[in-house]
A and B are shown apart, each in its own frame.
Chain A
Amino acid sequence: MFAPDIILAAVLNGLMTGSVYALIALGLTLVYGVLHIINFAHGATLTAAMFAVYVAHTVFKLDPYIALFIVTPLFFGLGYGVQRFIIGPASHGEDRNILLVTLGLSILIENAMLAIFRSDTRSIDVAYAFSSIDLGFTFLALPRVLAFGVALLVALLLGLLLTRTDTGKAIRAVAREKTGAALAGIDVAHIYAVTFGLGAACVAIAACLLMPTFYVTPRAGNAFVLVAFTIVVLGGMGSIPGALLGALFIGVVESLCGLFFGESLGQIGIFLIFILVLLVRPTGLFGARA
Chain B
Amino acid sequence: MTRTTELSRRTLLTTAAIGGAATIAMPGLLRAQAPAIKVGILQPVTGALAYDGQQGQIGAEAAIKAINEAGGIKSMGGAKLQMVFGDARSTPEGGTAEVERMQAEGVVAIVGGFASPICLAASQAAARYDLPYIVDVGVADSIVTRGLKNTFRFGPGFGTVTKTALDNLSKLNDAAGKPAKTVVLVHEDGLFGSGMAKLMQAELPKRGFEVLDTIAHPTPSRDMSNVALQIRAKNPDLVIPSSYYGEFALLARTMQQQRIKPKGIYAVLNGAASNFRFVKEFQDAAQFVMDCNHWHDPRKPVAEALRKQVEASGKFWTYNIPLNYSCVQLLADALETAGSGDKAKLTEALTASTFAGHIMPYGPTKFVNGQNEGGAPVNTQVQGADIKVIFPTDFADAKPIFPVPA
Q: Size class of A's contact patch? A: 35 or more
Decide yes or no: A3 and B229 within 8 Å by CB, A132-B257, A138-B258 being known contacts. no
Q: Choose among A10, A123, A125, A215 the residue that contacts B283 (Cβ–Cβ < 8 A).
A: A125
Q: Which of B356-391 contact A (CB under 8 A)?
A: none
Q: B331 CB to closest chain A CB, in angstroms? A: 26
Of the listed stretches A79-87, A99-107, A256-264, name the one at the interface; the rest are far from the partner chain.
Answer: A256-264
Residue-by-residue, is B77-104 near A (CB-CB < 8 Å gives 1, otherwise 0)? 0000000000000000000000000000
* Contact, CB under 8 Å: B216 / A118: no
Q: Which of A118-138 contact B (CB under 8 A)?
A: 118-125, 129-132, 138
Closest B residue to A219 using CB positions: B48
Assembled-state Cα–Cα distance A125/B151 (Å): 42
Decide yes or no: A267 and B218 within 8 Å by CB, A118-B50, A119-B47, A258-B226 being known contacts. yes
Assembled-state Cα–Cα distance A9/B216 (Å): 19
Q: Which of B201-235 contact A (CB under 8 A)?
A: 215-218, 220-223, 225-227, 229-230, 232-233
Q: Choose among A118, A130, A227 the residue that contacts B257 (Cβ–Cβ < 8 A).
A: A130
Q: B137 CB to closest chain A CB, in angstroms? A: 16
Q: Is A230 an interface residue (CB 8 A)?
A: no
Assembled-state Cα–Cα distance A125/B253 (Å): 10
* Contact, CB under 8 Å: B226 / A259: yes
Instruction: Provide the residues of chain B in CB contact with A259, threshold 8 Å.
Output: 226, 229-230
Q: Is B54 an interface residue (CB 8 A)?
A: yes
* Contact, CB under 8 Å: B249 / A123: yes
Closest A residue to B216 using CB positions: A264
* Contact, CB under 8 Å: A215 / B257: no
Q: A12 CB to closest chain B CB, in angstroms? A: 9
Instruction: Provide the residues of chain A in CB contact with B284, threshold 8 Å.
Output: 130
Closest A residue to B256 using CB positions: A130
Max chain A C-beta neighbours (<10 A), residue from B49, B51, B220, B277: B220
Instruction: Provide the residues of chain A in CB contact with B233, threshold 8 Å.
Output: 2-3, 6
* Contact, CB under 8 Å: B220 / A223: yes
Assembled-state Cα–Cα distance A157/B215 (Å): 40
Q: Is B281 an interface residue (CB 8 A)?
A: yes
Instruction: Provide the residues of chain B in CB contact with A69, threshold 8 Å.
Output: none
Q: Is A224 an interface residue (CB 8 A)?
A: yes
Assembled-state Cα–Cα distance A2/B258 (Å): 17
Instruction: Provide the residues of chain B in CB contact with A264, threshold 8 Å.
Output: 189, 216-218
* Contact, CB under 8 Å: A141 / B254: yes
Assembled-state Cα–Cα distance A13/B277 (Å): 27
* Contact, CB under 8 Å: A121 / B249: yes
Q: B34 CB to closest chain A CB, in angstroms? A: 36
Q: Choose among B216, B258, B282 the residue that contacts A263 (Cβ–Cβ < 8 A).
A: B216
Decide yes or no: A130 and B285 within 8 Å by CB, A17-B222, A120-B277, A263-B221 being known contacts. yes
Decide yes or no: A263 and B215 within 8 Å by CB, A114-B46, A132-B258 being known contacts. yes
Q: Is A266 an interface residue (CB 8 A)?
A: yes
Q: Is B259 an interface residue (CB 8 A)?
A: yes
Q: B40 CB to closest chain A CB, in angstroms? A: 22
Residue-by-residue, is A234-263 near B (CB-CB < 8 Å gives 1, otherwise 0)? 000000000000000000000100110011
Instruction: Provide the residues of chain A in CB contact with B35, threshold 8 Å.
Output: none
* Contact, CB under 8 Å: B222 / A223: yes
Assembled-state Cα–Cα distance A217/B277 (Å): 14
* Contact, CB under 8 Å: B253 / A129: yes
Decide yes or no: A214 and B229 within 8 Å by CB, A130-B285, A132-B257, A223-B222 being known contacts. no
Nearest 9 CB-CB pairings of A with B: A119-B50, A13-B225, A263-B217, A141-B257, A264-B189, A120-B51, A223-B220, A258-B226, A121-B246
A→B interface (CB under 8 Å): 2-3, 6, 9-10, 13, 17, 114, 118-125, 129-132, 138-139, 141, 213-215, 217, 219-220, 223-224, 227, 255, 258-259, 262-264, 266-267
Q: List 17 A-B contacts (CB under 8 A).
A: A3-B233, A120-B50, A122-B277, A125-B281, A129-B257, A130-B284, A130-B285, A132-B259, A139-B257, A141-B225, A215-B250, A255-B223, A255-B226, A263-B227, A264-B216, A266-B226, A267-B218
Given A121-B51, A215-B246, A263-B189, 14 more A-B residue pairs with CB atoms under 8 Å apart are A13-B229, A17-B225, A114-B50, A118-B50, A119-B47, A125-B281, A125-B282, A130-B285, A139-B258, A141-B225, A223-B220, A258-B226, A264-B189, A266-B226
